[in-house]
Amino acid sequence: MAIDIDTARKVAKLARIRVEEADLPKLAGQLSGILGFMEQLNEVDVSGVEPMTSVTPMRLKRRADEVTDGNMQAQVLKNAPDAREGFFAVPKVVE
């Protein structure tokens, strides 16, 4: 399936990656090539096959619902590009 420029623009938007208008045709071409490669999967008879959801058959472990660590505000914020007064800071979200 060929990806047109509008679809490429939409995918970039969904992925939250800015792509300049001038770069959209190249991106659309590359995405079309990759998705074309995937079309081969349509040759496979998958009727009655369940999608694989876990790699090795095992039950996830459970544990008591208790706090196991915490009180690490300084470490949590240490790598933030902008942290103020104990919070992550971002541009204004609500007018």
Among 5, 6, 73, 80, contact with another protein (rule: CB under 8 A) = 80
61 contributes a contact to another protein by CB under 8 A: yes
Among 42, 67, 85, 86, contact with another protein (rule: CB under 8 A) = 42
60 contributes a contact to another protein by CB under 8 A: yes
Q: Which of 8, 35, 2 is nearest to 21 (CA)?
A: 8
Compute the least distance from the CB of residue 86 to another protein, in Å: 14
- For the chain, the distance separating the N- and C-terminal CA atoms, rounded to the nearest angstrom, is 41
Question: Residue written as tokens 């208790």?
Answer: 66
Q: Which of 88, 52, 89, 55 is nearest to 73 (CA)?
A: 88
22 contributes a contact to another protein by CB under 8 A: no
91 contributes a contact to another protein by CB under 8 A: yes
